[in-house]
Amino acid sequence: MDSATSASATLSQRLNDYYELCKPRVVLLIVFTAMVGMFLAVPTMVPISALVFGTLGIGLMSASAAAVNQMIDVQADSRMQRTRKRPLVTGHLDTRQSAIFAFAIGALGMAILLVFVNALTAWLTLFALIGYAGIYTMYLKRATPQNIVIGGAAGAAPPILGWTAVTNEVSIDALILFLIIFIWTPPHFWALAIDRAKEYAEVDIPMLPVTHGIEHTKTQVLIYTVIMFGVSLLPYFSGLSGLLYLASAVVLSGWFLVYAVRLKWWARPGLGMKMFGYSIVYLMLLFTALLVDHYVPLIATGLQSF
């Protein structure tokens, strides 16, 4: 390999390390839920500056929160199979580089929201960043098995942030979208934790299956999934969404419930991880259904006027 080729290989490796530091797939879904919040806040098109700068600011600050989470968790991450390849664990990045990067993208995100969006969105996003990186990662994660229920509030904030980016105010409908993700978080995480309980026990993180056992956690997953079924129908009953959304929510949440029931009474090895995988598809499709449902009447009206 000549020196130019090896320099470019190093650069692309380095970029990939910073990319992985941001938990990109989680941030992508977070940003998507924020964008759906923006679109649902207005009857027609989102103003382009709120869309571009709101998305960018929320995305950068979420990525910053994820990087800080990895800086704090480096010890635990180095001892779990699932997290062993993270860039701070492998030594591809050090704490100083990660701290500078996290601060830079966090500050940039905050500045973008303050200057181009609005102060309410900027401060609420900062609050979510501190909630996840500070309160959840530094304290709650090691303090109580209810860690993710409380910490989940930060991850559920993005639809509200998207909504305020466009309207500069919080509404009941924005709170309903928040509630969907808030109630979704425990089944999302505990389904994975059931299959990874041994790893969490080994690093002394008091996740629910470690402190209260697998059976209790499965019951909690089922209870939250039943509540989530009901909560996922709220956008229809509040008048935010129509029948297309209602039908999608019934099918998607119904399938989630089938998983929860199987996990409780007919589990087989690996079902927890399968349910965890479905939880991600579920949230993606549910928010896609909100979006499509919102624009179908508009498209239909447009077609009629031709």
Ligand X SMILES: CC(C)=CCC/C(C)=C/CC/C(C)=C/COP(=O)(O)OP(=O)(O)O
Min CB(250)–ligand X separation in Å: 27
136-171 per-residue burial string, b: 16 or more CB within 10 A, e: under 16? bbeebbeeebebbbbbbbbbbbbbbbbbbbbbeeeb
Closest CA to 70 of 88, 54, 82: 88
Q: Which of residues 27-46 bind ligand X (CB under 6 A)?
A: 30
* Residue in this structure with the two tokens 């209602």, named with its chain if needed: 246
The verdict on 206 binding ligand HEM (CB under 6 A) reads no
With CB under 6 A as the rule, give the number of residues binding ligand HEM. 17
Residue among 163, 131, 142 at smallest CA distance from 62: 131
Q: Which is nearer to ligand HEM, 220 or 305 (CB)?
A: 220
Partner interacting with residue 73 (select from ligand HEM, ligand X, none; CB below 5-8 Å by kind): ligand X
Q: CA-CA distances (angstroms) from residue 130 to 60, 65, 134, 260?
A: 14, 8, 5, 32
Question: Per rule CB under 6 A, is residue 26 in the interface with ligand X?
Answer: yes
Question: Please, which residue, 106 or 187, has the CB nearer to ligand HEM?
Answer: 187
Contacts of 97 (CB under 8 A, 6+ apart): none
Hey, what amino acid is at 239? G
Site string for ligand HEM, 162-201 (x = CB under 6 A): -------------------x---x--xx--x---------
Contact region with ligand HEM (CB under 6 A), list: 44-52, 150-158, 217-225, 253-261: 150-158
For the CA atoms of the chain, what is the radius of gyration? 20
Measure the CA–CA gap between 250 and 248, rounded to whole angstroms: 6
- Count of residues touching ligand X (by CB under 6 A): 19
Question: Does the protein bind ligand X through residue 129 (CB under 6 A)?
Answer: yes
End-to-end CA, the chain: 61
Q: How many degrees, rounded to 5, is the angle at CA 143 between CA 273 and CA 275?
A: 10
Sign of CA dihedral 175, 179, 180, 185: positive
- Binders of ligand X among residues 63 to 122 (CB under 6 A) are 65-66, 69, 73, 83
Could you say which of ligand HEM, ligand X, none residue 66 binds, taking C-beta under 5 to 8 angstroms by partner kind?
ligand X
d(CA 121, CA 126): 9
The single residue among 131, 152, 209, 235 that binds ligand HEM, judged by CB under 6 A, is: 152
- Please report whether residue 85 would count as binding ligand HEM according to CB under 6 A: no
Query: Which range binds ligand X by CB under 6 A, 60-68, 92-100, 113-121, 247-255?
Result: 60-68
Contact, 57 vs 121, CB < 8 A? yes
Nearer of residues 62 and 225 to ligand X, judged by Cβ: 62
Selected range binding ligand HEM among 12-20, 26-34, 99-107, 159-167, rule: CB under 6 A? 26-34
Residue with tokens 């629910």: 208
Name which position in 151, 159, 162, 209 contacts ligand HEM (CB under 6 A): 151
Q: Which residues bind ligand HEM (CB under 6 A)?
A: 25-26, 29-30, 33, 82, 148, 151-152, 155, 181, 185, 188-189, 192, 280, 283
Q: Which residues bind ligand X (CB under 6 A)?
A: 23, 26, 30, 61-62, 65-66, 69, 73, 83, 125, 128-129, 132, 137, 154-155, 157-158
